[in-house]
A and B are shown apart, each in its own frame.
Chain A
Amino acid sequence: MTDNTKINVEPLKPKDFSSGLDVRWCPGCGDYSILSQIQKTFAKIGYQKHEPIVISGIGCSSRFPYYLSTYGFHGIHGRAPALASGTTLALPDHPVWVATGDGDLMSIGGNHFIHACRKNMDIKLLLFNNRIYGLTKGQYSPTSEKGKITKTSPYGSIDYPFNPISLALGSNATFVARTVDREPKHMQQIFEKASEHKGTAFIEIFQNCVIFNDGAFDDVSKKDVKDDHMLVLEDGQPMLFGKEKEKGIILDGFEPKAVNLNDGKYTIDDVIVHHEKDESGILAFILAHMTDNPNLPTPVGVFRSIRKQTYGEALQEQIKNVTEEKGKGTLEMLLSEGNIWEVN
């Protein structure tokens, strides 16, 4: 950041990032943990209050900006990525964080989401995925599993869900990650990595809705199962899981398989090593779709992190180049364009 206001300023504490408003999420909501980890991360990164701009759409998650002491904008349903695009292009030196939910981003805002990723807008998209519409009180969402019984699907939802990680990868997001509301340390690590990323950073957060979809992620993240059902991705490390890290993921062709390293058939050398900088994105896609396979653990961590010129950088580069070529525009210049003749 080129901001010199930072010099000689006391570093802020997590509580300094609280706006002081009463937080009105339901008791036990996963959003509390996300808010707390964001405040800790902002303090750790060393942000001043005027630096990050926090933008949201509509839904429970989108109340987020009101609870932070930074600049915040609570937008309209689905449009947070577009709002954030305008803000980041206007303020290229400020980090723009977006809080959004599965209805907001995957349904009404789907178009804005894919295009923000495609354009590599320099924004951080936090998807609070609880697989349900909360604020409208319990209808199925674009990430709800098929067959889910809700108020609008009394006989079971007949929709196939989106895989948000796959959608982000397919839209060419340059940073794609997943974390879990139950894992505050992991969440902070991911937020910190996202803060260092220039370009679209997409983070899916498994977030529990205690009222309308309680326990939606218990299969993955509950204490007693998480060792076996969650694969923590680490760059450059073999993909191991299980209580004693005795299990690993191997590739059979393009198909990932879970194997036990103790049964003598496979060694750690057979286990695939994670490489988040893989430009092709093939490995990231394979990992993304492990979530759909009940026989495989669900990966969390950074799926992909590559550096590409952002939309804002390209725009500033054009402004600089054209200004060098044509000279900085003035009113006199503007009013002398075109085929001019004089009347006396």
Chain B
Amino acid sequence: MEEENGKEVEQLQDVTVMFAGDSGDGMQLTGSQFSNTTALLGNDLNTLPDYPAEIRAPAGTIYGVSGFQLHFSSKDIHTPGDSPDVLVAMNPAALKKNLPNLKPHAMIIVNIDAFTQKGLNLAKYESNPIEDDSLKGFRVIPVHISKMTETALKDTGLSPKDIARSKNFFALGMMYWLFNRPLEPTMKWVNQKFGKKPVLIDANIKALKAGYYFGDTAELFTTRYKVNAAKLPAGKYRNISGNEATAMGFVAASLLSDRELFLGSYPITPASEILQYLSKYRNYNVSTFQAEDEIAGVVSTIGAAFAGKLAITSTSGPGLALKTEAVGLAVITELPIVVINVQRGGPSTGLPTKTEQADLLQAMYGRNGEAPVAVVAASSPSDCFYMAIEASRIALKHMTPVILLTDGYIANGSEPWRIPEVSELKKIEVPNPPAPEDYQPYLRDENLVRPWAAAGTPGYEHRIGGLEKANITGDVSYDPDNHDEMIRIREEKVEKIQKFIPELEVDGDDEGELLVVGWGGTYGSITDAVHKAREKGYKVSHAHFRYINPMPKNTEEVLRRFKKVLVPEINKGQLAILIRNKFLLPVIQYNRVRGLPFKSSELEDKMIELLGGKND
């Protein structure tokens, strides 16, 4: 073991840290600063912000606790970590909420100043856990975070309230010391953020440094830790969240298709950030329209698609429910739109800030009439970038609405992303309509796609709408046989997308005892669990859907090569229903709907159980 300034330096491969405090304590900011700095050091990382729906829940209560979990490593990782190794608890409630989930012998750094009688009462502690033996086995490090922040900032001229708000930076500085991280990236951020308020720059940097130096000089910490850079493939990297990747993906799709981007949207947790990010891209010719409601969001999108734009709308579950009728309008008018659903806990308002996968059947079937749409799902924060491009490609090439499913976990979570070269991104070819004299609104090409003649183009004047259309001419038609034919065409048109999407890949052996099949945001937990089970000698493979409607053409063949198929989902078995229905295959479900991503350990246990083993 190395030594530095009289303290031991221990090499770690892999650490999970949880920052937890009141929802006004700035824990999300602390966590994201730590993530960005950690990413810059070259660690692989994965994050799980977990915060209450209330903006400022009553201080000190358990339901007001906001947490940011961060897993970083010198190897390739896929999850935010099952259980934290280190907890930073800014108050008793944060301790109480997170204690059950900690690893045995975890380090607990508490802000001892918040462990007053009032704080303990609010957290419903009968006695002080720091003083009794309820934390036996953990490494408890009590720190006067509040008091030391006050002392450090007493000459800044800030009000006591503003000083109290800086204590998260003290905690951050301390953690930077503990894990050997530089202060510069955060200092740079502080300078940018508070550029016009030098007093706040001064205060935040003072608090940050005070925390760092405290770690260095205090006797409390005998060891500091080093987590080396991960061996990631060569290239340029940045840290990215799913919502930012989604926004960037659509800007990229706009450039790749040479169609200006239009977003009609209404703010909703956890999708609002997509609207926020896209509002910044004016110089990319991006038009954002913050509509009066969810319905206007999607309907304005349809109006822009009619006029030839790459038109998208972003929402979350309850918003998708409101957009239902309009998505049907896009189906019958066969216009290209993309609807992004950042799934959250439902039904109804449900758990707005928590994650879930329970809108798959809503995306597939949640409309009146026979109204097929293409459905794709992103599997990680950075995959949101690629699936945004794919969703756009399918919409523009096949003249169909596409629903892109992400979820609260990958939307808010972040990971290092190897930024692609421009040459790695494939152009999106948008078919041109035939010459005006040959044009009819519902002509079909070999993929049953109708031509897209943007409104306003001379020579292609036509009328479309929600009434059933005669095939080819596009005139309103009440003819029974035409209706039957149009229903079949709309379905086949979506099925034909299968020719243009990649096959389902298998991670692991191509055939065998057990295949784990997932979709969307469970990719990381499943990958982690499968790899761990394999390291223990179990034969288990993994296939992950990013294209759900239509499914890849080799789907049935892949599934039938395995004796057992396990489908873990954060819902009651919606992909399982689709697979059973389509292939009459008996699949085994694993469903937990707790508003949180799966722990890889629970999935690993389930796989090993199915293979007749026992996980120790």
Please report A residues at the B interface, Cβ cutoff 8 Å.
5, 19, 21, 48-51, 53, 55-56, 58, 65-66, 68-76, 79, 82-91, 93-94, 111-112, 114-115, 315, 318-319, 321-323, 325-332, 334-344
B63 beta carbon closer than 8 Å to chain A: no
**What is the CB-to-nearest-CB distance from B262 to chain A, in angstroms, rounded to a whole number?**
6
Flag if B284 contacts A71 (CB, 8 Å): no
Partner among A79, A328, A332 whose Cβ is within 8 Å of the Cβ of B299: A79
Secondary structure type dominating chain B contacts: mixed
**Contact of A79 with B467 at beta-carbon distance under 8 Å, contacts A86-B302, A319-B283, A327-B283 already known:** no
Flag if B255 contacts A329 (CB, 8 Å): yes
Flag if B463 contacts A65 (CB, 8 Å): yes
**Contact of A83 with B299 at beta-carbon distance under 8 Å, contacts A74-B465, A76-B329 already known:** yes
**Contact of A342 with B237 at beta-carbon distance under 8 Å, contacts A86-B307, A112-B292 already known:** yes
- Size of the chain B interface, CB-CB below 8 angstroms: 72
CA distance A5 to B459 in the complex (A): 11
Closest to A54 in B: B463
Q: Which 10 residue pairs of A and B lie closest in terms of their CB atoms, listed nearest first?
A: A74-B465, A86-B303, A329-B284, A86-B300, A90-B307, A322-B282, A72-B463, A82-B296, A115-B292, A82-B299
Determine the chain A residues whose CB is within 8 A of the CB of B306 once the complex forms. 71, 73, 83, 86-87, 90
CA distance A87 to B238 in the complex (A): 36
Closest to B244 in A: A338
**What is the CB-to-nearest-CB distance from A44 to chain B, in angstroms, rounded to a whole number?**
19
Partner among B238, B252, B461 whose Cβ is within 8 Å of the Cβ of A70: B461
Closest to A83 in B: B303
**Contact of A343 with B465 at beta-carbon distance under 8 Å, contacts A53-B455, A82-B300, A89-B300 already known:** no
CA distance A83 to B298 in the complex (A): 9
Closest to A317 in B: B282
Partner among A68, A86, A315 whose Cβ is within 8 Å of the Cβ of B264: A86
Partner among B185, B295, B425, B456 whose Cβ is within 8 Å of the Cβ of A79: B295
Flag if B235 contacts A343 (CB, 8 Å): yes
B419 beta carbon closer than 8 Å to chain A: yes
Residues of chain B from 272 to 309 with CB closer than 8 A to chain A in the complex: 281-285, 287, 289, 291-293, 295-296, 299-309
Per-residue contact bits, chain B 230-253, to A (CB 8 Å; 1 contact, 0 not): 001111111110000000100110
**What is the CB-to-nearest-CB distance from A184 to chain B, in angstroms, rounded to a whole number?**
25
CA distance A90 to B308 in the complex (A): 8
Selecting from B35-43, B523-531, B562-570, B581-589, the interface stretch reads B35-43
Determine the chain A residues whose CB is within 8 A of the CB of B307 once the complex forms. 53, 86-87, 90-91
Flag if A331 contacts B256 (CB, 8 Å): yes
Flag if A325 contacts B283 (CB, 8 Å): yes
**What is the CB-to-nearest-CB distance from A108 to chain B, in angstroms, rounded to a whole number?**
10
B311 beta carbon closer than 8 Å to chain A: yes
Flag if B303 contacts A90 (CB, 8 Å): yes
**Contact of A75 with B329 at beta-carbon distance under 8 Å, contacts A50-B458, A326-B283, A339-B239 already known:** yes
CA distance A58 to B467 in the complex (A): 10
Closest to A89 in B: B287
The winner among A114, A322, A340, A343 for most chain B CB atoms within 10 A is A343
Please report B residues at the A interface, Cβ cutoff 8 Å.
36, 39-40, 42, 185, 229, 232-240, 248, 251-252, 255-256, 260, 262, 264, 281-285, 287, 289, 291-293, 295-296, 299-309, 311, 325-326, 329, 333, 418-422, 425, 455-467, 475-476
**What is the CB-to-nearest-CB distance from A309 to chain B, in angstroms, rounded to a whole number?**
16
CA distance A65 to B281 in the complex (A): 35
Flag if B252 contacts A334 (CB, 8 Å): yes
Determine the chain A residues whose CB is within 8 A of the CB of B309 once the complex forms. 90
Determine the chain B residues whose CB is within 8 A of the CB of A82 once the complex forms. 264, 291-292, 295-296, 299-300, 303
CA distance A76 to B335 in the complex (A): 15
CA distance A340 to B311 in the complex (A): 30
8 contacts between A and B (CB under 8 A): A72-B464, A85-B289, A86-B303, A86-B307, A89-B289, A115-B292, A331-B256, A334-B248
Closest to B41 in A: A341
CA distance A315 to B263 in the complex (A): 13
Flag if B303 contacts A84 (CB, 8 Å): yes
Closest to A335 in B: B419
* Further pairs besides A74-B466, A89-B300, A321-B282: 5, Cβ < 8 Å: A71-B456, A73-B303, A73-B463, A336-B419, A340-B419
Partner among A73, A319, A336, A339 whose Cβ is within 8 Å of the Cβ of B464: A73
**What is the CB-to-nearest-CB distance from A220 to chain B, in angstroms, rounded to a whole number?**
33
Flag if B262 contacts A89 (CB, 8 Å): yes
**Contact of A343 with B304 at beta-carbon distance under 8 Å, contacts A66-B463, A86-B311 already known:** no
Flag if B42 contacts A341 (CB, 8 Å): yes
Determine the chain B residues whose CB is within 8 A of the CB of A79 once the complex forms. 295-296, 299, 326
**Contact of A90 with B304 at beta-carbon distance under 8 Å, contacts A50-B460, A111-B293 already known:** yes
**What is the CB-to-nearest-CB distance from B169 to chain A, in angstroms, rounded to a whole number?**
19
Determine the chain B residues whose CB is within 8 A of the CB of A111 once the complex forms. 292-293, 296
Flag if B234 contacts A344 (CB, 8 Å): yes
**What is the CB-to-nearest-CB distance from A319 to chain B, in angstroms, rounded to a whole number?**
5
The winner among B39, B237, B251, B303 for most chain A CB atoms within 10 A is B303
Closest to A323 in B: B283
Determine the chain A residues whose CB is within 8 A of the CB of B237 once the complex forms. 340-343
Closest to B459 in A: A50
Partner among B234, B240, B301, B421 whose Cβ is within 8 Å of the Cβ of A86: B301
Determine the chain B residues whose CB is within 8 A of the CB of A19 once the complex forms. 463
**What is the CB-to-nearest-CB distance from A343 to chain B, in angstroms, rounded to a whole number?**
5
Determine the chain A residues whose CB is within 8 A of the CB of B465 once the complex forms. 56, 65-66, 72-75
CA distance A318 to B235 in the complex (A): 35
**What is the CB-to-nearest-CB distance from B457 to chain A, in angstroms, rounded to a whole number?**
6
Determine the chain A residues whose CB is within 8 A of the CB of B333 once the complex forms. 73
**What is the CB-to-nearest-CB distance from B256 to chain A, in angstroms, rounded to a whole number?**
7
Flag if B329 contacts A338 (CB, 8 Å): no
Determine the chain A residues whose CB is within 8 A of the CB of B301 once the complex forms. 86
Determine the chain B residues whose CB is within 8 A of the CB of A93 once the complex forms. 456
**What is the CB-to-nearest-CB distance from B281 to chain A, in angstroms, rounded to a whole number?**
7
Determine the chain A residues whose CB is within 8 A of the CB of B464 once the complex forms. 72-74
Determine the chain A residues whose CB is within 8 A of the CB of B285 once the complex forms. 319, 323, 328-329
Flag if B40 contacts A341 (CB, 8 Å): yes
